[in-house]
Amino acid sequence: MFFISAIHALKKFRTGEIVEHQCFQISINLLFSPVIPTFAFTMKRQERFARTIAWFQENMPVAETELHYQSPYQLLVAVILSAQCTDKRVNMITPPFFELYPSEKELAEATPEQVFELIRSCTYPNNKSKHLVGMARMLVDEFDGVVPDDVNTLQKLPGVGRKTANVIASVVYQKPALAVDTHVFRVAARIGLTVGAKTPLETEKQLVKYLPGDLLAIAHHWLILHGRYICLARRPKCEECGLRMWCKYYLKNSAAKEEDGKSG
Ligand code: SF4
């Protein structure tokens, strides 16, 4: 429908029936019209990925972590703190934390009780303070103070699960790893990049299968940032979203609304 109408407008432009800005306006109106092109319903997954990648490359060419850090150790601390907590809160906690514990050496000397006092405004401060001290001690004792670059080795550190390990591997060491947090899980499923994934690991496997290796690192940030600012958990801002023409969630909801309209 969209293409037929757009081609029609283009023909009129060529024959001189309309001028350039009118043609452009018609195309824009069509693009933002509630009419959903039929191709969107039958699109193959590769195509959905291709369109999504192209959109992000154009609209979010730079996408990075919003956590503040100056070394692999500091990013590790920040990511451990960020579990179930906002990056904004973590960025408020880490400056005084890094003043006292700028590297794993200082943190390894601390007690969980001392660390607790600095991170008490974070979620799960009890567990996180124990994990942070345990992580620093293991870094010093077993890894000569060097944060490992391997996802499996990273997961030996206290407080480091697969998601955190993937963040470190991809952000610090530019490895082809993709961390799945709640935003990545939700946004990928809504768009239709993943199908029936029930766990973060299933989501990770499906995304890794379809995304080019050199885009895994940035794709993680694309989906996180999109989930944080547009595709919100409770009320996604679909009308502002550039992905809606092929987003399964949007297509399904629009079709349901259309049905309701007809029956009402
Ligand atoms: S159209 Fe809506 S549900 Fe789909 S990605 Fe955009 S905001 Fe999320």
Q: Which two tokens stand for residue 78?
A: 């920040």
pLDDT one-digit tens code per residue, 206-251: 999 999 999 999 999 999 999 999 999 999 999 999 999 999 999 9
Tell me which residue of 234, 238, 235, 262 sits closest to 250, measured CA to CA: 238
d(CA 120, CA 140): 25
Residue 24 has pLDDT above 80, yes or no: no
Can you give the pLDDT at residue 20?
A: 45
Residues marked active site are found at 163, 181
pTM to 2 decimal places: 0.79
C-alpha 60 – ligand 1 centre gap (Å): 16
Q: Which residues line the pocket of ligand 1, CB cutoff 6 A?
A: 187, 190-191, 230-231, 236-238, 241, 243-244, 247, 249-250
Q: Which ligand 1 atom is at minimum distance from the Cα of 248?
A: 4
What residues have CB less than 8 Å from 191, skipping those under 6 apart? 48, 52, 243, 246, 247, 248, 249
Write down all domains in the chain, each with its CATH number in brackets. Answer: 1-35 (no CATH), 72-171 (1.10.340.30)
| Mean pLDDT, all residues of the chain | 88
What is the DSSP-derived secondary structure letter of residue 174?
Answer: -
The number of beta carbons lying within 10 Å of the beta carbon of residue 194 is 24
Which residue is closest in CA terms to ligand 1's atom 8?
231
Secondary structure class of 215 (helix, strand, coil)? helix
For 57: left if phi > 0, alpha if psi spans -120 to 50, otherwise beta; the answer is alpha
Can you give the pLDDT at residue 53?
A: 98
pLDDT one-digit tens code per residue, 152-165: 999 999 999 999 99
